[in-house]
Structure 1
Amino acid sequence: MILLDKSSCDLLRYLIQLETPETIMTISRSTEQSRRKIYYHLDKINDALPDDVSPIVSKPRVGILLNHQQKEACQTLLAEVASDSYIMSIDERIQLMIVYIAISSERVTIEKLMDLTDVSRNTVLNDLNDIRYRLAQEQYKVNLYATKSQGYFLQCHPLNKIQYVHSFLYDLFNEASPGFLNILREKLMVTLADEGLLSDQAQDFLLAEVSKRENDLGKKINRSEISLMLRILPYLLLSYQTMELSLEEVEDMQQKFAPVHQRIEYQVAQKISQSIQGQLAVELDEIGTCLIAILLLSYRKERDSHLTSQDFQDMAMIIDWFMASFEQTAQVRLVQKEELARRLLTHTKALLFRKNYGILSKNPLTKHIKQKYHSLFVEVKKAALILEEEWQISLNDDDLAYLTIHFGGYLEKEMDTLESSHLQQVYIICDEGVSIQKLLLRQCQKYLPPNSIQATFTTEQFKSVEDLLVADLLISTSDALETQFPLVQVQPILSYDDVVKLSHFLRHYELMTCRPHFEKRLEQLLGPHVTSPGIITQLSQEICSLFDEELLHLSHQGVTSEHTPV
């Protein structure tokens, strides 16, 4: 059975509604698809039509108009596409094929790819050519080859394959839709007959296992990062297990991974490997165990209790030099330097392992950081030359944005110009990590009364103490938080709209706090001129409401986009 993708179904719906013939050129313009794509989807539709229905063709100088039989068949075809089914786009189909080729231990043939993607042979061949082109654009020197004995496979140095697969999966799990990710996992589980590493049970087990081992590590991995790491790990292990390594390649990999053996993460990875074998019946060799250790080393940490070990004294000195250089070049003063130094050391330890083993870590806030804090970003970039020279690494914009976030939370706070306010009990709720929490705190302090922010929580922490709190305002980066308290939802990097929302709330809160006193004064002023007490109260309330509306309107107009929270 040939399954139609989203674009084919869109064309089918377009053709069904035509009342007069349209040429391929007209259809192309109306659907914003090239003529080549229109012909491609027409071929797919014709392949899917019953044998007793004449194919849909474009008549010269006339175009396409479905007859009654064709229209009924097309409507039946669309009806057969279940309302809850997921129709993959071309990009998604290619992504599915890449993952399958990367992790399949069996011979990958065109027929298997046809079954996997539910498309024709010609479509699979076109997709394979597209994959070759995409691989040629990558930095990892990975090539798609095919032989009679092996079928289709990725040819490259083993470490390059690990780096490419991690990079590919990192982007996939960050950007793909949940619907496609479910389809990808289900199709791979069926095709590979895998109920182990790819199952929901495996994910739950791995999360519980790594969380349990964090005490052994003496470190706390960022929650969003650990979730992403554990989604990638099963595919990474499967991709390694498909490699047929020569003795020389095994020795080369073991030599490259030798430094990992000295780290506590390797000991924890050994325990996790043993648990995987016992729970999931998947046996990992030395290199597979090292892959787990490398991920544990490379992903960002919230806390690290091993910063004072002798191994990292040189790194600590370079961090101090880096901070001093930043203060000097940026002409600013940092506060709580010891705490900042600890956080930078925790961050750069993982950074160095990522650089050494080519483990990608993208920063979703890089664009906002560069736009919102351009001058700060530039100053961090200048000072970071010290890190690049001393550690022989190259820092990209994502790396620099992370460092900028760290510094942004420890800049000396400017004198607050806000007038006093009754707003005193404000709490920030942010699950984006300690560094983002710190930076968000600095931004909010710019727009809220002095000392009004009482604490910063994660969602989990807040829920554990919510019953004990009295809050005037909650500021949350999550749109899923449910609470009885007043709530303003913002981005981790405050946008113009976020500042408007905070300003509106502050004005509204001040008005509500002062309103009883204001109404009383109005009633006193109106008393000599109005005899009826009921009318005095009504007029007082109406004047207050009008005043509220005008002030809120003015506060909206008064907020400009030229705010600089740090």
Structure 2
Amino acid sequence: MILLDKTSCELLRYLIGLKEAETIMTISRELGQSRRKIYYHLEKINDALEGYGEEIVSQPRVGILLTEKQKELCRELLRHVDSRSYIMSARERMQLISLCICASKERVTIEKLMDLTEVSRNTVLNDLNEIRHQLTTEQYQVSLYSTKARGYYLDCHPLNKIQYVHSLLYHIFVEGNQAFVAVLNQKIQALFAGEKLLSGDLQAFLSQQVPLVEQDLGKKINRHELVFMLQVLPYLLLSCRNMELKKEEENSISQEFSLIRKRIEYKVAKLLSERMDSQLAVQLSDIEISLLAVLLLSYRKDRDLHATSQDFAQLQEALEAFLWRFETSSYQIENRDDLLRNLLTHCKALLFRKTYGILTKNPLTRQIRSRYADLFIFTKSCAVVLEEAWFVSLTDDDIAYLTIHIGGSLKNSPAEQRDNRQIYLVCDEGVGISKLLLKQCRDYLPNERLDAVFTTEQFKSVEDILRADVLITTNEDLETDLPVIQVHPILDNEDILNITHFVKRQGLSDAATFNQDLEKLLSTYVKDSVRSQELKEKIQKLVNEKLLANAAEETEDRTKDSN
């Protein structure tokens, strides 16, 4: 079977329409996709073309231009893909089947799963066997069974099911292909036609309630976490409603949730439930209200007015000991109180995630470990204090989040900033990332004026009166007339080259030309694309180190002149 999704088909159509050769960089810019994604989808296309003995290759210094034979083969591939459908991979098919079994109140049969996935009986049976095997390798202690009376169902402790479903939804909505997410939503809504929890009215209601919930909590939930919660909450509630609980199981799960009933999040969840019942006639059980409270407790916060409350005194003591280890090292921390408050806010949510097994990953872990290797390792060694105090095991994703907060609060060397460009940052990735981004930019632009990091909402409120020479943003869709450059939250070598060229020359053309020329030059001598990319990054790193050294020398010269 040809497993091409809509993005692969979009690339196919673009390549078929080319009259002249274009480089991967140009194609990525035209399609609004990263080069990594273009290479990924090109690999999928080549897998599909393998049976025809053809392969699409990007020629060094030239790019890609299909032959007439390749164009016809590509058109043949497209004819096998319904333009209105999405061809699911085996992994995506199993995710859809699993979610259907988790959420359905009705009996789930082979025939129903065949209609849902649009594949043969044997394929569905193979998928079910693979799901059953995968469940035995995971930590949730969930088993898949089937009987004539009940169809396919999960057998497990209720809290284990909630943890498993949340993990499944995380893999789908955060790590999955957005085209697949759209298809999944359509299929599930068709399967559960008339279900109020899946209605657009509920989504609109929840979105409108966000400011009220945050006001009642005295907390601001991280934007990415909030988007995810609104996406997955209906499915989590459905998975609660299809559980057939005995009295002792209800008592057990009620006991599991007893801790959160003392928290403000539980009171706010009850208020939200009452408004939901009043406006939409959607009633939540106590277990469902408790689940909503767990989510409100577990997701990261950008602000928490209750961070230093007395009931978290022991949490603060552990973090004090954690910071003390940093202060006895060569690392120097500034704004210690501010850092401690941010760590308290972050770690409160972290502990509730650990307690209730709510999965969250850090998309920046790899970049943190690579670019801030020494700081990551030292943070990990210091974090033993927290693990012993809280009786938890911190993953590399957890350590990376702590590294982000620490890295954003390390002292910078002073620099003269007279008559230089005014630069503002726009970042919606949370407090920790925003502070670390500011520090990174100050490291590479030590003589420029970088005074503030805005969220998009804050930036839009002051855009009309803001005087800025350059905006640096991590957002893909920031609309503004000011000069702007988009970067990754953890600057890579290409980002660093771009911002230094941009600030000095008010344009990206030189940086883009340099990167293109470097890519073409290396591809002439190194045919292995992976090896070529590694060499490119090493060269960029050397150039960046030279730029940083020049900036430091410039700062030193200014200081001498002023004295």
Which residue does 1:189 correspond to in 2? 189
- The one-letter code matched in structure 2 to 1:344 is L
Deviation at residue 485 of structure 1 after TM alignment: 1.5
- The one-letter code matched in structure 2 to 1:297 is L
Deviation at residue 106 of structure 1 after TM alignment: 0.7
In structure 2, C-alpha distance between the alignment counterparts of 1:388 and 1:221, rounded to whole Å: 25
In structure 2, C-alpha distance between the alignment counterparts of 1:34 and 1:427, rounded to whole Å: 47
Which residue does 1:150 correspond to in 2? 150
* Aligned: 1:327 with 2:327: yes
Structure 1-normalised TM-score? Answer: 0.76
In structure 2, C-alpha distance between the alignment counterparts of 1:461 and 1:240, rounded to whole Å: 38
Q: What secondary structure does 1:220 align onto?
A: strand
Which residue does 2:258 correspond to in 1? 258
| Equivalences, count | 461
Which residue does 1:268 correspond to in 2? 268
Deviation at residue 430 of structure 1 after TM alignment: 0.5
In structure 1, C-alpha distance between the alignment counterparts of 2:166 and 2:256, rounded to whole Å: 17
Q: What secondary structure does 1:154 align onto?
A: strand
Cα deviation 1:248-303 (Å, max 9, x = unaligned): 11111111100111000000000111223233433211111000000000000111
Alpha-carbon spacing, 1:365–1:146, altered in 2? closer, same or farther (3 Å): same
Return the match for 1:488 from 481, 485, 489: 485
- The one-letter code matched in structure 2 to 1:478 is N
Which residue does 2:535 correspond to in 1? none
Contact 2:423/2:448, CA 8 A, preserved across alignment: no
In structure 1, C-alpha distance between the alignment counterparts of 2:124 and 2:409, rounded to whole Å: 54
Which residue does 2:361 correspond to in 1? 362
Q: What secondary structure does 1:175 align onto?
A: coil
Return the match for 2:460 from 455, 458, 463: 463
Which residue does 1:304 correspond to in 2? 304
Cα deviation 1:134-154 (Å, max 9, x = unaligned): 212211111110011110011
Which residue does 1:534 correspond to in 2? none
Contact 2:318/2:386, CA 8 A, preserved across alignment: yes
Which residue does 2:338 correspond to in 1? 339
Which residue does 2:174 correspond to in 1? 174
Alpha-carbon spacing, 1:197–1:325, altered in 2? closer, same or farther (3 Å): same
- The one-letter code matched in structure 1 to 2:122 is N
- The one-letter code matched in structure 1 to 2:301 is K
Which residue does 2:22 correspond to in 1? none
Return the match for 1:505 from 502, 506, 510: 502
In structure 2, C-alpha distance between the alignment counterparts of 1:78 and 1:507, rounded to whole Å: 46
Contact 1:430/1:457, CA 8 A, preserved across alignment: yes
In structure 1, C-alpha distance between the alignment counterparts of 2:5 and 2:289, rounded to whole Å: 45
Q: What secondary structure does 2:452 align onto?
A: strand
- The one-letter code matched in structure 1 to 2:473 is S
Alpha-carbon spacing, 1:280–1:318, altered in 2? closer, same or farther (3 Å): same
Deviation at residue 246 of structure 1 after TM alignment: 1.1
Deviation at residue 88 of structure 1 after TM alignment: 1.8
1:141-540 alignment, distance < 5 Å:
141-328=141-328, 330-416=329-415, 422-450=419-447, 452-509=449-506
Alpha-carbon spacing, 1:451–1:312, altered in 2? closer, same or farther (3 Å): farther
Contact 2:473/2:484, CA 8 A, preserved across alignment: yes
- The one-letter code matched in structure 2 to 1:428 is L
Contact 2:5/2:88, CA 8 A, preserved across alignment: no
Deviation at residue 82 of structure 1 after TM alignment: 3.7
Deviation at residue 563 of structure 1 after TM alignment: 6.8
In structure 2, C-alpha distance between the alignment counterparts of 1:184 and 1:322, rounded to whole Å: 44
- The one-letter code matched in structure 1 to 2:459 is F
Cα deviation 1:156-203 (Å, max 9, x = unaligned): 111111101101111211122222111111111111224422233322
Which residue does 1:110 correspond to in 2? 110
- The one-letter code matched in structure 2 to 1:387 is L
Cα deviation 1:417-468 (Å, max 9, x = unaligned): xx76743311000010111110000010112244601321111211121111
Alpha-carbon spacing, 1:8–1:206, altered in 2? closer, same or farther (3 Å): closer
Q: Which runs of 5+ in 2 are unaligned?
A: 13-44, 53-74, 508-538, 552-563
Contact 1:266/1:290, CA 8 A, preserved across alignment: yes
Deviation at residue 557 of structure 1 after TM alignment: 8.2
Alpha-carbon spacing, 1:496–1:303, altered in 2? closer, same or farther (3 Å): same
Which residue does 2:84 correspond to in 1? 84
Which residue does 1:559 correspond to in 2? 544
In structure 1, C-alpha distance between the alignment counterparts of 2:218 and 2:206, rounded to whole Å: 18
Deviation at residue 559 of structure 1 after TM alignment: 2.9
Contact 2:423/2:469, CA 8 A, preserved across alignment: yes
- The one-letter code matched in structure 2 to 1:436 is I
Which residue does 2:37 correspond to in 1? none
Q: What secondary structure does 1:6 align onto?
A: coil
Which residue does 2:132 correspond to in 1? 132
Contact 2:326/2:332, CA 8 A, preserved across alignment: no
Alpha-carbon spacing, 1:117–1:319, altered in 2? closer, same or farther (3 Å): same
Q: Which runs of 5+ in 1 are unaligned?
A: 14-29, 39-74, 511-553
Percent of residue pairs identical:
51
Cα deviation 1:303-323 (Å, max 9, x = unaligned): 111123221122222211111
Alpha-carbon spacing, 1:503–1:8, altered in 2? closer, same or farther (3 Å): closer
In structure 2, C-alpha distance between the alignment counterparts of 1:333 and 1:114, rounded to whole Å: 60
Q: What secondary structure does 1:494 align onto?
A: coil
In structure 1, C-alpha distance between the alignment counterparts of 2:540 and 2:295, rounded to whole Å: 49
Alpha-carbon spacing, 1:447–1:78, altered in 2? closer, same or farther (3 Å): closer
Alpha-carbon spacing, 1:561–1:362, altered in 2? closer, same or farther (3 Å): farther
Alpha-carbon spacing, 1:34–1:467, altered in 2? closer, same or farther (3 Å): closer
Cα deviation 1:27-56 (Å, max 9, x = unaligned): xxx975899x99xxxxxxxxxxxxxxxxxx
Q: What secondary structure does 2:437 align onto?
A: helix
Deviation at residue 120 of structure 1 after TM alignment: 1.5
Alpha-carbon spacing, 1:364–1:325, altered in 2? closer, same or farther (3 Å): same
Which residue does 1:98 correspond to in 2? 98
Contact 1:423/1:449, CA 8 A, preserved across alignment: no
Q: What secondary structure does 2:198 align onto?
A: coil
Contact 2:308/2:341, CA 8 A, preserved across alignment: no
Deviation at residue 354 of structure 1 after TM alignment: 0.5
In structure 1, C-alpha distance between the alignment counterparts of 2:89 and 2:295, rounded to whole Å: 31
Contact 1:214/1:220, CA 8 A, preserved across alignment: yes
Cα deviation 1:77-134 (Å, max 9, x = unaligned): 9758542322222221111111000100111001111111111211111111111122
Contact 2:375/2:403, CA 8 A, preserved across alignment: yes
In structure 1, C-alpha distance between the alignment counterparts of 2:243 and 2:4, rounded to whole Å: 36
In structure 2, C-alpha distance between the alignment counterparts of 1:8 and 1:468, rounded to whole Å: 45
Contact 1:476/1:489, CA 8 A, preserved across alignment: yes
Q: What secondary structure does 1:322 align onto?
A: helix
Q: What secondary structure does 2:257 align onto?
A: helix
Alpha-carbon spacing, 1:555–1:421, altered in 2? closer, same or farther (3 Å): farther
- The one-letter code matched in structure 1 to 2:467 is V
Alpha-carbon spacing, 1:378–1:207, altered in 2? closer, same or farther (3 Å): same
In structure 2, C-alpha distance between the alignment counterparts of 1:288 and 1:463, rounded to whole Å: 37
Q: What secondary structure does 1:475 align onto?
A: strand
Q: What secondary structure does 1:88 align onto?
A: coil
Alpha-carbon spacing, 1:484–1:555, altered in 2? closer, same or farther (3 Å): farther
Which residue does 1:527 correspond to in 2? none
In structure 2, C-alpha distance between the alignment counterparts of 1:464 and 1:307, rounded to whole Å: 27
